[in-house]
Structure 1
Amino acid sequence: MNPTTILRPLGATLIALAVGQSHAAAERPLIPLLKAEQVKPACDKGLASLRKQVTALEAKPKAQSGDAKKVFAEWNTLQIAIEDLQGPVEVWNNMSPDPKVRQASEACLVEISKFATDLFQSDKLYQRFKVVKPGDKVEDKVREDAMENFEDTGVALAPAKRARMKQLLNELELLSQEYARNVRDNNTKLAFTPDEVKGLPESYLSRAKRDANGNYLLGFEYPDYNPFMEYSDNEAARKRYQLAFANRGTPRNLDLLKQAMEKRLEIAKLFDLPSFAHFVIRRRMAETPEAVNKFLADVQGAVTDVEKRELEELRQFKAAKLNIPAEQSRIERWDVSYWQQKLKQERYSIDQNELRKYFPTDASVDWALKISSDLYGVDFKRVDVPAWHEEVRYYDVIDRASGQRISGMYLDLFPRDGKYNHAAAFPIRSVSTVAKRTPISVLVTNFDRQGLNADELETLVHEFGHVLHGVLSNTRYVMQAGTSVERDFVEAPSQMYEEWARSKQSLQMLAPLCKTACPTISDDMVKRMTAAHNYGRGIRYARQLLYASYDMNLHTPTVGDPQAIWEKMEGATPLGHVPGSQFPSQFGHLMGGYAAGYYGYMWSEVIALDMLSRYSGKLMNPEVGRLYRQTILERGSELKGRDLVRSFLGRDPNPKAFFDEINGQRLQ
């Protein structure tokens, strides 16, 4: 996942608050560490400075057609100042171990959102972009992107509509923050008896907390939840955990989502558009909701029979293992991970938990750095710097050819209370070559400290793909840096990188990085891992299809009840709806930037699998890696997504590999 900042980009108002930096540290931009009582004064000071800059820009004489470079430079300077305020606050809000810091940061983000709305409703700044004539394609895209940002915020609306748009955007930010907080700060622990945890590996049980009665206390962190659903032999316990996990956003979030849907539809109406999907998708690669719905219909046609076949196979497998008549066997939602894991163990000799000894967490991180280093011609230098938690790591990114530091990144790898509880890359500081500004990204995961399974290894390289998109970006202006590409393209680089977690060429580089001896990954094991990964693709893609279709159904010309819509749509799937479950209450994508955009995960995968063809099966080819760095990673959004792909592939993207993947026909 790739969270985007409110304004699109981040960077130094708050960085100046860092205490005790040496000269060398001053050259290496770092995220400052503030106490809770310091956040609001720093935020207020930063916002006051930003408003002063905006006022100064608005007071300048009218721009002329030949003033493009001047206008773009002024805008770039302002965007940098915005990033320098917003970026650190994003980190504190999502990752600080101090709940008071998170609370103060959330309030600051709301104020930054209000500032953003005011900024993009400034007609004087809008007119400066409107009159200039860009000098090249990059400047042309800067102007186009800026104009769209202004117009989508309502600058060209009639005064009453513009005022209402401002109110709606501010209200949506408040809803989003509350929704995320309700999930992030849910520290519920479920108690499971020793009988209910039978089947789970000893390494899992030995680190779990226990209550006075000897029951195991498990929360909603992924290292707790996922292994339980794969290994607990107790079906009733799996059901109880699955239901609690699906409801961890609390019923309040259903109301917040409904309110957001209503406000989004009202936004679309302000622009005389029939739905929020029309408002959003007109700026994406897909361009129209009709194109998205056709794509989803094509996926439906490809995946339906595959999903039914896999579920029937699991049902028969369950019946055989439990020695019950097939007609009495039924696969429930809380059964899928468990019986898939059992089947993969038997058929492919792949046990997800056993894979952890092949992929120790530290070695896996070093491996992700190693393959990235070899492919893209960079080195990662570990540097001891102050961070918001003692387990956070920082690296300088060094361009190997020039020997210059080009960026930095933080890795926050392990779960803790109050931390962002998914996996994501936060592009908190963007590059600008004209400003001689280097980027910073933050990788956030919630991994097992001892080792990763195959799915988690894929998550590592997926999110690292987002990080690379940020730290290897080399754009002229911050607003076009890194992951600022269209939302239905942004996942493509990270999805493509998942392939390296299943390739012998790259995986054979992992064992030598282990601090203590770990098993070598054989050709046979890679084949079995790939086969195990491929099994269940119908179930996997059908679930993604459900999420994307649900998202589109929430953003139609009418507003329905989000829970009722979900129950109807999930109820129509082969596995049906689990009574009492409230999945929409914790579907954070729909409140965090992917509204009317979740289809982008599969749309991006079409591009990702197609881009793999350029490697011709040789994933560690540094020549192709350098080309990819130059044409995709470095360019950010200086070109539209389709043009970026064309520059790398030498042709337009083709969906064949994606549909071959669903049908099991793609060559590995």
Structure 2
Amino acid sequence: MNHPTFKLTALSVLTFAVQQFTFADSPTRQTLPQFQAEDIPTLCDAKIKDIQRQLTQFEAKPMTAQNNAAPVLAEWDRIFASFEDFYGPIGLYSNVSPDAALRKAAEDCEIKISQFQTDIYQNPKLYQQIKSTQAKDAIDSKFREDLLNDFEKTGIQLSAEKQARLKVILAELAKIEQEYARNVRDNPQKLEFTPAELTGLPQSYIDALKKNDQGNYLLGFEYPEYRPFMELADNDAARQRYQIAYTRRGGERNLALLKQAMDLRYELAQLFGKSSYAEWALHKRMAETPENVNKFLSEVHAKVAPLEQKEVDTLREFQAKTLKIPLKQAKIERWSEAYWSEKLRKAKYQVDQEKMREYFPTQAAQDWLFAISSNLYGIEFKPAKVDVWQNEVEYYDVTDQKTGQLLGGLYVDKFPREGKYGHAAVWGVYGGSSLTGRKPISALVTNFNRKGLNSDELETFVHEFGHALHGILSTTRYSAQSGTSVERDFVEAPSQMYEEWARRKETLSKVADYCQPACPRVDDKLIAKLNAVHSYGRGLHYARQTLYAQYDMALHGSNALKEQPLDVWKKMEGSTALGYVPNTEFPGQFGHIMGGYQVGYYGYMWSEVLALDMLSAFGKNLNNPEVGQRYRQTILSQGGQKPAEDLVKDFLGRKPDNKAFFDEITGQRVK
């Protein structure tokens, strides 16, 4: 998952980190500053005061209708780069710092930043300074248009009364979204399981768990604990208890916060004369309108719903055969689907995901990923000792193989810990600028098993690494357009395309080259099994993705005020093949729609359309550096300084189409 690009508008989501860069005189290595919790309030106030001073000077400069946009845009970008120099690390540390006090201080600072942003983008003098310029080329024209759009989406054109109300709404949303994320991230709850309830789980998993005085095991909501339990624990009641608790980890409070956000977003849209928040949010996206999104999702649903039902029926048949019970007694529940799917994969395809960790040791997987990326894009990763926020975090300089030039920096934070962001994501902490020589920095954050990865986790690693490279290999003119500062419904495409490198023999077979000690090598037989496993469950996967996206759209439609989020979820999930599980509260921990991806979840599949189309350019050879270099130059280096559709056209030499995507979801794509 990529954290949404931060362009310093009041509408940015503050639970996510931002892209920014350090404004320095030479293109040398830049690293992230480390903060003490007690210093952050003073530093935050001082930085806001300094930026306000610079903007006051900016708005006082004389302008005419003939002003060349270039120096004005460069000055604007410089000011906000200096702001982001502070705010970028703050946004990251609020999610990954081991110090709870520092996380809280960073969150409090983010609220101040949010309120300051609104003031900036409702300032008519600043707006006129940008609007009075004339762009001389396409890059300046797009940046100018993007900035004006930021002002307009923050209500610059509204009446003073509406602007005041919008300011209140945005401030409330920032607080609500932040609290929602904190309630999930910092949930300390541990569930108690007896040794008997852990039957089926590998001893290595059990040995890593904490125990209480009664000898029972304590499990929390970290991914490396939850996912294996749901796939491998034989005790059905234990899995049910864990699954229900997992969906309720946000608590009743988060359901209330989500409803508040829905209502505030609807009111925001009304201020702009829009019928729904979805209509307002989709402006300047590739999809453009809710109608286009809903049509796309309906087309996907029509394809995958029959596949989902067929796969559930297959699981029931397998369950009946395994348990030697009549088919009519077989039942697959939401909490048992992963368990029976894993059993079927082992029986039918002889793929044991826990055994796959022997093929993909975590460090070897990282070294392999560095190597294939180096070959494909002509880059190198050089470790360096720098100050980090936790002692297991790694840092690498990323350089160009031919020139030796520093391209950017990469932080890697791989393992779970208390209080850390609980999934896998990349923060584009610093954005780069060719005007100033500023170098981008990405922070890759995961929660992996220390011993090794299964094939799904390896795909996740490759996916997130794709986001990191999108940031680091960016060479845009302006930092605000750097890296993943692209349309929300394109941002996942480069990472989704890169997932294919975790599925093909020509790449996967090379992981063993980096194992110390030696590990088994992926061969043709295993690749065939892994491909079959990847194909299996396609219906359930895409049906679930479609459900999430349609739910997101439903919460942000024209009936938002009349809807309760849990009621909508019960109805929508209840219509799926596995139905709704009583007492579950999925909406209370659906972080995407309260963290920057609201009216954006559809973008995962919209992006996949483009990802699979771009993948076709590599043909049968994923390790082709010639195509890799062309992709680096036409897609990755361009950031958001061109419209996404133009980027894809530049790479493919034609308009994109959706054939490969629909072939993928129906199992017809030739690999």
Deviation string, structure 1 residues 101-140 (Cα, Å, up to 9, x no partner):
0000000011111111111111111112212111111111
Whether the 8 Å CA contact 1:7–1:116 is kept in 2: the answer is: no
1:140 partner amino acid: S
Please name the residue that 1:565 is paired with. Answer: 568
Q: Does 1:501 align with 2:502?
A: yes
Whether the 8 Å CA contact 2:68–2:136 is kept in 1: the answer is: no
1:157 partner amino acid: L
Please name the residue that 1:96 is paired with. Answer: 97
1:645 partner amino acid: V
Please name the residue that 1:218 is paired with. Answer: 219
Please name the residue that 1:19 is paired with. Answer: none
2:212 partner amino acid: D
Whether the 8 Å CA contact 1:10–1:84 is kept in 2: the answer is: no
1:131-280 equivalences in 2 (<5 Å):
131-280=132-281
Deviation string, structure 1 residues 134-159 (Cα, Å, up to 9, x no partner):
11111111111111111001111111
2:4 partner amino acid: T
CA distance in 2, matches of 1:7, 1:76: 10
Whether the 8 Å CA contact 1:423–1:463 is kept in 2: the answer is: yes
Please name the residue that 1:2 is paired with. Answer: 2
Number of aligned residue pairs: give it: 660
Please name the residue that 1:579 is paired with. Answer: 582
- Following superposition, the deviation at residue 67 of structure 1 comes to 2.4
Whether the 8 Å CA contact 1:10–1:86 is kept in 2: the answer is: no
Q: Does 1:345 align with 2:341?
A: no
Please name the residue that 2:620 is paired with. Answer: 617
CA distance in 2, matches of 1:103, 1:195: 39
Whether the 8 Å CA contact 2:648–2:656 is kept in 1: the answer is: yes
Unaligned segments of structure 2, at least 5 residues: 9-17
- Following superposition, the deviation at residue 4 of structure 1 comes to 2.1
Please name the residue that 2:637 is paired with. Answer: 634
SS of match in other structure, 2:33:
coil
Deviation string, structure 1 residues 617-663 (Cα, Å, up to 9, x no partner):
21110000000000000000111111110001111111111111111
Whether the 8 Å CA contact 1:360–1:451 is kept in 2: the answer is: yes
Whether the 8 Å CA contact 2:5–2:484 is kept in 1: the answer is: no
- Following superposition, the deviation at residue 10 of structure 1 comes to 4.2
CA distance in 2, matches of 1:233, 1:87: 44
2:378 partner amino acid: G
After TM superposition, the score normalised by the length of structure 1 is 0.97
CA distance in 1, matches of 2:629, 2:321: 51
CA distance in 2, matches of 1:459, 1:12: 26
Q: Does 1:106 align with 2:107?
A: yes
Deviation string, structure 1 residues 22-80 (Cα, Å, up to 9, x no partner):
x99x9321111111111111111111111111111111112432321111111111120
Q: Alignment identity in percent?
A: 53
CA distance in 2, matches of 1:666, 1:74: 48
Please name the residue that 1:386 is paired with. Answer: 387
Please name the residue that 1:606 is paired with. Answer: 609
SS of match in other structure, 2:491:
coil
1:293 partner amino acid: N
Whether the 8 Å CA contact 1:10–1:85 is kept in 2: the answer is: no
- Following superposition, the deviation at residue 11 of structure 1 comes to 4.5
1:28-177 equivalences in 2 (<5 Å):
28-177=29-178
- Following superposition, the deviation at residue 277 of structure 1 comes to 0.4
CA distance in 2, matches of 1:307, 1:543: 9
Whether the 8 Å CA contact 1:363–1:510 is kept in 2: the answer is: yes
Unaligned segments of structure 1, at least 5 residues: 17-22
1:653 partner amino acid: P
Please name the residue that 2:306 is paired with. Answer: 305
1:558 partner amino acid: N
- Following superposition, the deviation at residue 546 of structure 1 comes to 0.3
1:634 partner amino acid: S
SS of match in other structure, 1:442:
strand
2:326 partner amino acid: P
After TM superposition, the score normalised by the length of structure 2 is 0.97
1:616 partner amino acid: G
CA distance in 1, matches of 2:400, 2:496: 24
1:262-411 equivalences in 2 (<5 Å):
262-411=263-412
CA distance in 2, matches of 1:210, 1:527: 40
Whether the 8 Å CA contact 2:440–2:471 is kept in 1: the answer is: yes
Please name the residue that 1:428 is paired with. Answer: 429
2:616 partner amino acid: S
- Following superposition, the deviation at residue 6 of structure 1 comes to 4.4
Cα 1:5–1:142 shift into 2, 3 Å: closer
Whether the 8 Å CA contact 1:407–1:438 is kept in 2: the answer is: yes
Whether the 8 Å CA contact 2:19–2:427 is kept in 1: the answer is: no
Whether the 8 Å CA contact 1:392–1:413 is kept in 2: the answer is: yes
Q: Which aligned segments of 4 or more residues in structure 1 are displaced greater than 3 angstroms?
A: 5-13
Deviation string, structure 1 residues 336-372 (Cα, Å, up to 9, x no partner):
1111111110111100000000000000011111111
Deviation string, structure 1 residues 187-210 (Cα, Å, up to 9, x no partner):
211111111100001111111111
Whether the 8 Å CA contact 2:397–2:408 is kept in 1: the answer is: yes
Q: Which moved more, 1:197-206 or 1:122-131?
A: 122-131
CA distance in 2, matches of 1:156, 1:62: 20
- Following superposition, the deviation at residue 82 of structure 1 comes to 2.1
Cα RMSD for the two superposed structures: 1.4
Whether the 8 Å CA contact 1:425–1:467 is kept in 2: the answer is: yes
Cα 1:10–1:587 shift into 2, 3 Å: same
- Following superposition, the deviation at residue 5 of structure 1 comes to 5.0
CA distance in 1, matches of 2:117, 2:30: 24
Which of these residues, 581, 595, 598, is aligned with residue 598 of structure 2?
595
Cα 1:443–1:628 shift into 2, 3 Å: same
CA distance in 2, matches of 1:406, 1:80: 18
CA distance in 2, matches of 1:309, 1:82: 53
Cα 1:454–1:70 shift into 2, 3 Å: same
Q: Does 1:662 align with 2:665?
A: yes
SS of match in other structure, 1:643:
helix
CA distance in 2, matches of 1:52, 1:457: 47
1:135 partner amino acid: K
1:107 partner amino acid: D
SS of match in other structure, 2:497:
helix
Please name the residue that 2:12 is paired with. Answer: none
- Following superposition, the deviation at residue 229 of structure 1 comes to 0.5
CA distance in 1, matches of 2:288, 2:537: 31
